[in-house]
Structure 1
Amino acid sequence: MIPFNKPYLTGKETEYITDAVASGKISGNGKYTQKCQQFFEKQFGFKKTLLTTSCTDALEMAAILIDIKEGDEVIMPSYTFVSTANAFVLRGAKIVFADSRKDHPNMDETKLESLITSKTKAIVPVHYAGVACEMDTIMDLAAKHNLFVVEDAAQAIDSYYTGKDGVKRALGSIGHLAAFSFHETKNIISGEGGMLAINDEQFIDRAEIIWEKGTNRSLFFRGEVDKYGWVDIGSSFLPSEIIAAFLWAQLENLEDIQQVRKQHWEKYHNGLKQFASDNDIELPIVPDYATNNAHMFYLVCQSIEQRSALIEKLRNQDIHPVFHYISLHSSPFYEDKHDGRNLSETDRFTDCLVRLPLFYELNVDTVINQILK
């Protein structure tokens, strides 16, 4: 049986977890947390990073940091996971959904300005499949209208965007804030886990306070204050050292993991090119300004019936592809709150996109051969 996903273990995870336990500090913000955060800051140029227990937590921290209040409007794609929206709904925001591009599930940047009102507070681009949104346009709009940009980079570790200035920037380093995921389905994992990346220095001090349940505990342990107390809202966002130790073993092998995943992605692309053409199926698009971190390989079928047939036939051969998001604007929770605009491209991806298995130890040829059959 070939599952959709199989978590990859480097072999060092349990060794580092044992070391963390033996150190006597497993509650969080210890040695392994610091090692992981320093790695991300050095490798990808984030000004400050804070590990969290999930990407959801990182998004919720971002919503607090940009001071989302009742009635604020936040623009984001409808084709995304519920956490993207939920983080801002919890603070009282109204979600304004943007349609996807015709060639990619990412938000259509050319339609964003028409969605901006006097109540708009933020834009939340989601880098679907680790492929960059067109960030120059988004950042220019944010600057023009005095908005915050929170990148949902859950799928985008080790992926980049090259702007009109020719500078190549890591995804998550462009917006004011960004959220990453280390869920077991991602390239780099810790079972559950995430990270907030902070690129605007005005948020750094408050982020640490929110991260530590609304206290200035981090300042106390660094000797910057004599005692710590409750100074802001917050929650228990930081993960244990056990999670951080697991993550560190993964980060040590980032280059190897990425190399293998990219080889799998290229094999899929080359092996299915003719099949896709013959059956009016779309393969993933990577724009010139983006890189491919091989988070996902998907097909966009011509209809929901074609997709259902493909999934059924592969599952009959013990291969388990899956479809992806149900449009949030048509979800039971939000459909009566949506403004009624037709988001046709979002709905098309909801009906037609199917994700193929992609993990380190996958035999890609087996999947390709069954699809061709």
Structure 2
Amino acid sequence: MEQIVPFNKPYLTGKEAHYLYQAVYSGHISGNGNYTKKCQSFFEEKWGFKKTLLTTSCTDALEMCALLLNIEKGDEVIVPSYTFVSSALAFERQGAQIVFADSREDHPGIDETKIESLITPKTKAIVVVHYAGVAVDMDIVMHLAEKHNLFVIEDAAQAIDSYYKGRPLGSIGHFGTFSFHETKNIQCGEGGLLAINDEQFIRRAEIIWEKGTNRAEFFRGEANKYGWKDTGSSFLPSELNASFLYAQLENIDDIQKRRKDIWLSYYNKLLHLEESGNIKLPNIPDFATNNAHMFYMVLEDEQQRSNLIRFLAEEGIKSVFHYLSLHKSDYYLTKNELQTLKMSDHYSDCLVRLPLFYELEKKEIESICQNITQFFK
């Protein structure tokens, strides 16, 4: 059957093409121009990050973290297994040994109570992933970091405009990283952001961001010339990406409200299936907020999930599973022995995501929920 409801549809506010036009005819379309600065100022003013740098992806932002922390062979970095490969790869490619942590029983995020048992004298950093935009218990994580003299990277790829005890996610650890991939709440096709919350890293971050040079300082008039100062790469995006992103940022409150309305509608219409024991719905801890990045359900087993995905597809509805546990990946197992991480594997086998995008209509939500109810009958 022809697909009727896609899993995702990137939302356009109507200003993107206008700002792209302005960027093109401004005479400056390479990185770190007017729209880059406008985006970075937006983040710093709205969410209070000490310093932000736009990047071409969240992966690039994570790679900058690895360079800023001088990660090298012999270091260990703790990462949840249930996450996208970039959370681990950025540190592995610098030579680190990745130590995988399991997920919580009530949420796919990292199990904070298991982290300390993984810390050794070689541990240098902890990467936490705010899965579905829902916060990890950052008090526990930051206490462990202080106790063991470790750095914390918040992978907030999915967590824009979400909070932990009133504090914006991405602002609590030493670094926060964000994604603006087309599947995210705010998007520019491909894009990312590094938030630097520890002032000791700010100047070096700018140098690494600008290919290892002090070029940014030069263009601000803080140096009479610029040259090669450190390692780095071309991490900054063009003004085209930044101008597109700025149109989205201007409309973030409207976008967030719409997404939250959709999320709540799903929750209310499917709650009866949780109450009858058919599914588990997302859990939002008291310390966290929900930014409606995604709506997911956890089913009984992999076979039931596959059957539901197939059933919905036959009705023209695209639903998808999510991450495969990284500790079971082919690449990781070429260098490491197989571990048992029960909850990570449980979510890999049983979690299914439903369509969630700005233009999803009420009648489509009702149809999706009716079909899911029918499946369980």
TM-score range (shorter-chain normalised) is: over 0.9
SS at match of 1:137: helix
- Size of the aligned set, in residue pairs, is 368
CA contact (8 A) 1:220 1:226 kept: yes
Structure 2 equivalent of residue 207 of structure 1: 205
**Alignment equivalent of 2:107, drawn from 96, 100, 104:** 104
Structure 2 residue runs of 5 or longer lacking an equivalent are none
**Alignment equivalent of 1:291, drawn from 284, 289, 304:** 289
TM-superposed CA distance for 1:372, in Å, is 1.8
| In 1, Cα distance between equivalents of 2:229 and 2:296 | 46
SS at match of 1:298: strand
Residues 52-71 of structure 1 aligned to structure 2 (within 5 Å): 52-71=55-74
Say whether 1:85 aligns with 2:88. yes
Structure 1 equivalent of residue 349 of structure 2: 351
Structure 2 equivalent of residue 367 of structure 1: 368
Residues 262-301 of structure 1 aligned to structure 2 (within 5 Å): 262-301=260-299
**Alignment equivalent of 1:133, drawn from 120, 133, 136:** 136
TM-superposed CA distance for 1:280, in Å, is 2.7
Structure 1 equivalent of residue 313 of structure 2: 315
| In 2, Cα distance between equivalents of 1:339 and 1:215 | 41
SS at match of 1:41: helix
TM-superposed CA distance for 1:339, in Å, is 5.2
| In 1, Cα distance between equivalents of 2:130 and 2:105 | 15
- Relative to the length of structure 1, the TM-score reads 0.97
| In 1, Cα distance between equivalents of 2:137 and 2:338 | 25
TM-superposed CA distance for 1:367, in Å, is 1.3
Structure 2 equivalent of residue 255 of structure 1: 253
| In 2, Cα distance between equivalents of 1:40 and 1:104 | 28
CA contact (8 A) 1:78 1:99 kept: yes
CA contact (8 A) 2:327 2:339 kept: no
**Alignment equivalent of 1:24, drawn from 10, 23, 27:** 27
Say whether 1:232 aligns with 2:230. yes
Structure 2 equivalent of residue 180 of structure 1: 178
| In 1, Cα distance between equivalents of 2:277 and 2:69 | 46
Structure 1 equivalent of residue 151 of structure 2: 148
SS at match of 2:100: strand
Any runs of at least 4 consecutive aligned residues in structure 1 with deviations exceeding 4 A, and if so which?
A: none
More divergent stretch after superposition (25-34 vs 358-367): 358-367
Structure 2 equivalent of residue 48 of structure 1: 51
TM-superposed CA distance for 1:357, in Å, is 0.5
Supply the AA of the counterpart residue of 1:369.
Q
Supply the AA of the counterpart residue of 1:30.
G
CA contact (8 A) 1:314 1:321 kept: yes
SS at match of 1:173: coil
| In 2, Cα distance between equivalents of 1:280 and 1:94 | 39
Identical amino acids, percent of aligned pairs? 66
TM-superposed CA distance for 1:278, in Å, is 2.6
CA contact (8 A) 1:96 1:338 kept: no
Supply the AA of the counterpart residue of 1:343.
L
| In 1, Cα distance between equivalents of 2:159 and 2:272 | 28
Structure 1 equivalent of residue 302 of structure 2: 304
| In 1, Cα distance between equivalents of 2:35 and 2:12 | 17
| In 2, Cα distance between equivalents of 1:290 and 1:275 | 24
Supply the AA of the counterpart residue of 2:152.
V
Structure 2 equivalent of residue 6 of structure 1: 9
CA contact (8 A) 1:17 1:242 kept: yes
CA contact (8 A) 2:158 2:179 kept: yes
Supply the AA of the counterpart residue of 1:231.
K
| In 2, Cα distance between equivalents of 1:257 and 1:155 | 14
Structure 1 residue runs of 5 or longer lacking an equivalent are 163-167
| In 2, Cα distance between equivalents of 1:75 and 1:319 | 37
| In 2, Cα distance between equivalents of 1:340 and 1:112 | 19
CA contact (8 A) 1:75 1:95 kept: yes
TM-superposed CA distance for 1:366, in Å, is 2.2
CA contact (8 A) 1:46 1:197 kept: yes
TM-superposed CA distance for 1:23, in Å, is 0.3
Structure 2 equivalent of residue 333 of structure 1: 331
Supply the AA of the counterpart residue of 1:85.
A
Supply the AA of the counterpart residue of 1:190.
C
SS at match of 2:330: coil
Supply the AA of the counterpart residue of 2:238.
S
More divergent stretch after superposition (271-280 vs 117-126): 271-280
Supply the AA of the counterpart residue of 1:41.
E
CA contact (8 A) 2:328 2:338 kept: no
